[in-house]
Amino acid sequence: MQADPRPGQGPWVVPITGGARQRPVRLAPIQALLPLLTLISVCWLAFFNGLGSLGLMDKTEALFVEVAHQMVLRDDWVTPWWNGQTFFDYPVWGYWMVARSFLWFGTTEWAARLPVALAATATVLAACGLVYLWGSTQEAPRSRLMRACVAAGVLATTPGWIGWGRSATTDMFLASAISLALFGFLISHRLAGHRLWEPMGRIALTLFSGIAVLAKGPVGLLLPALVIGAFLTWRGHWRRWARPFPLLAMALLFLGVVLPWYSAATEANGGAFVNGFLGFSNLKRFTSVLYAHPGPPWFYLPWLLMLLLPWTFFLPAALVGRGRWWSRRQGDGPGHPADELQLFLVLWLGLVVAFFSAAATKLPGYILPALPAASLLVGLYWRPWPAQGQEAGRRSGAAGPGDRSAGWPVGTAGWIQTALLAGLALASLQAPRWAATDPAYPHLGAALASSGLPLRLAILLAAMALASAWLLLRGQGRWLYLPNLVGFAGLLALVIAPLGPLLDRERQAPPRQLALEARRLARPDEPLWVVGSKRYSTLFYGGETARFVSGHDELQDRLKESEPGPEGSIRRPSSIRLLGDRRQLEQLRLPDAAVQRLARRGEQEIWRLTPPKAVNP
């Protein structure tokens, strides 16, 4: 059987016309039901189960949600506001989604996180659809679907995708939009010439690139352009993508998505928006360290390994794959579908990590757009495509885990994973002791111990380790993905879901309750200062603005400031409410006569400070 003459033709793609020589095998609905329901169930456990059981996390999530909250309160859908000031760190897409969710479902933690959960789930399901469409229509449909569900299931069970899929921040909106845009390109590239799929792929690429720009800024277009440009250059397919009419239509659609808000924000805020967003939040964030988040060039490598667990140790073998993707150059036929897709995924993973590694400001969530590529590489390693002309489930010359030639990579990675799981099982039993060392939450360790969750976690991790060891000893390494998938689903259902309410009770509830109490105790025009930890959730739950003070020195500086009053007069607040951890408040070394202790929840307290004429530093 000869290689495909060009993308969009040949036995490995959906036929373009009814003139195909062999009718494709169709998937019966009953065959698709169980795998798809299983994948949807995993998504529900990963992203929706107990979604609102934990209060907003300080500081990034609480900040992001409060901006959306202000959007609803002010009915201003153009200018983001936070703590009484305009806030141009991020564009508007994520705020729109959370604000709309508040309008539909109420102002709750569940409603705040619902949009990111939907974005994470949409990416998982789209990954499943991409892998299914990429395969041969002559392969058994159930085999194609199982491969697609396993590959998507890997993404749904990575800690990175789960963590940011349950946290209302801009990272998931950007990562999902970039991923869906690149999925659209892959579909239009592989099914070139198809009356439906090629234009749909181009529309998806353009639409979600625009959404990515609305979610985070120019990087939403730059990253897809880097990956696609590198791929087309490597493969020599620029001519087909450079057709004027499709490019013009894509450009108009992109501008139609992006320009309305950027134009409205510039008109409403002028230079403050342009300088604050493009200058500070984009260029300066890339070229200099902001908010004390530096990192070495290799900063993201350990984070990539942690965010991809438990699949981390199989990524090197998955990167090598069939061993032919790096040799595919301009003018080569597509050959086996795995080669071209793997090339694209490797470029996707490498360029995203390299781009953010070059930036001066570094945060773990920045490389979230790389996780779908890494997950699909691992998933397709476990469930490889059949070789041309062979039955599904086996292909000659493939470096999949079922082949003897791949025995030592799978065995080595499998034993490393088994040892790690066993070590984590032992370490989880010590979790209550470690939690008890946090003076801010002295009862957390006892609460964990009485809940039985550490023991439950240890049993599940030990079971995963034993199952992996049993498969390795029996020479069945190709099934190692099953303990990972089943075990991780068990962790989500039996440990993560009940852990949320416990953490909320011990960690999130006291600051939330004090924020409400601070509002109730407020005197007219009495400001609120939050001391120490930047608990931005105080703004959301308390419904008022606040000043954030790091410690003693900054407090003294703030107290010396004169505040302008009405008609140019100078006034100073007669009293100030201070909210923070008891130890951090005591470290302010304020005179006892100037302080009144108003309320306490756990280790969190509210004080009223009557500023003396002179405060001893």
16 located within any domain: no
- Confidence grade of residue 398 (pLDDT, cut at 50, 70, 90): very low
User: Quick one: pLDDT at residue 431?
Assistant: 87
Kindly state whether residue 261 falls inside one of the protein's structural domains.
yes
Q: Which residue has the tokens 């959730």?
A: 537
Residues 545 and 498 in one domain: no
pTM recorded for the entire structure = 0.87
In a domain, 437, yes or no: yes
Same domain, 481 and 604: no
Q: Once rounded to an integer, what is the mean pLDDT over residues 71-92?
A: 91
Of 492, 508, 524, the residue that ends a domain is 508
Give CA–CA dist 485/158, Å, rounded: 10
Whole-number Å distance between alpha carbons of 241 and 247: 8
> Is 96 inside any structural domain?
yes
**Pair 503, 528 in one domain:** no
What band does 48 get if pLDDT is binned at 50, 70 and 90? very high
Q: Which of 475, 220, 470 has its CA nearest to residue 369?
A: 220
List, for residues 170-218, the tens digit of each pLDDT value: 999 999 999 999 999 999 988 877 888 888 999 999 999 999 999 988 8
The confidence score (pLDDT) of residue 322 equals 54
- Dist. CA 487–CA 492, nearest whole Å: 9
Query: Residue 13: which pLDDT band, with cuts at 50, 70 and 90?
Result: very low
Do residues 68 and 94 lie in contact, with contact meaning Cβ atoms separated by under 8 Å? yes
Same domain, yes or no, for 131 and 205? yes
Specify whether 460 is located in the same domain as 544.
Answer: no
Q: Average pLDDT, stretch 433-451?
A: 83
Angle between helices 453-473 and 444-451 (to 10 degrees): 60
Which of residues 465, 481, 508 is at a domain's end? Answer: 508
Residue 18, pLDDT > 50, answer no
Q: What is the pLDDT of residue 280?
A: 58
Q: Residue 521 above 70 pLDDT?
A: yes
Answer whether residue 97 is part of any domain: yes
Question: Given pLDDT bands bounded at 50, 70 and 90, which one contains residue 551?
Answer: confident
Mean pLDDT of 392-399: 40
pLDDT (0 to 100) of residue 327: 55
301 lies in a domain? yes
pLDDT on residue 387: 59
Q: Is residue 196 part of a domain?
A: yes
The verdict on 88 and 43 lying in the same domain is yes
Return the structure tokens found at 187. 């579909």
| Structural domain of 558 | 511-609
Contacts for 270 with CB less than 8 Å, ≥ 6 apart? none
Q: Do 82 and 186 reside in the same domain of the chain?
A: yes
Average pLDDT score over residue span 454-483: 89
What single-letter amino acid sits at 275? Answer: N
Gap between the Cα atoms of 532 and 535, Å rounded: 8
Rounded to whole angstroms, the Cα distance separating 17 from 527 reads: 70
Of 176, 168, 160, the closest CA to residue 121 belongs to 176
Pair (380, 493) in one structural domain: no
Count of Cβ atoms closer than 10 Å to residue 439 Cβ: 10
| 279 pLDDT tier (thresholds 50, 70, 90) | low
Q: Both 357 and 389 in a single domain?
A: yes
* Listed residues 343, 367, 401: the one ending a domain: 401
Query: Cis omega before residue 310 (within 30°)?
Result: yes
Q: Tens of pLDDT along 571-581? A: 678 889 999 88
Mean pLDDT across 273-285 = 68
**pLDDT above 70: percentage of residues in the chain:** 83
**Most confident stretch, 130-139, 161-170, 265-274:** 161-170
| pLDDT computed for residue 481 by the predictor | 85
**Sign of the CA dihedral with 534 first, then 539, 541, and 542 last:** positive
Residues 219, 260 within the same domain: yes
Does residue 80 sit in the same domain as residue 212? yes
Q: How many domains does the chain contain in total?
A: 3
Q: Which residue has the higher pLDDT, 399 or 339?
A: 339
* Alpha-carbon distances, residue 474 vs 384, 398, 464, 502 (angstroms): 21, 22, 16, 40
Chain length of the chain: 617
Q: Are residues 462 and 599 in the same domain?
A: no
Whether 334 has a pLDDT exceeding 90, the answer reads: no
- Answer whether residue 614 shows pLDDT above 50: no
Q: What pLDDT, on a 0 to 100 scale, did the predictor assign at position 407?
A: 66
327/117: higher pLDDT = 117
* Mean pLDDT (the chain, rounded): 83
> What are 427's two structure tokens?
């370490």
Looking at residue 567, its pLDDT comes to 47
Residue 15: inside a domain: no
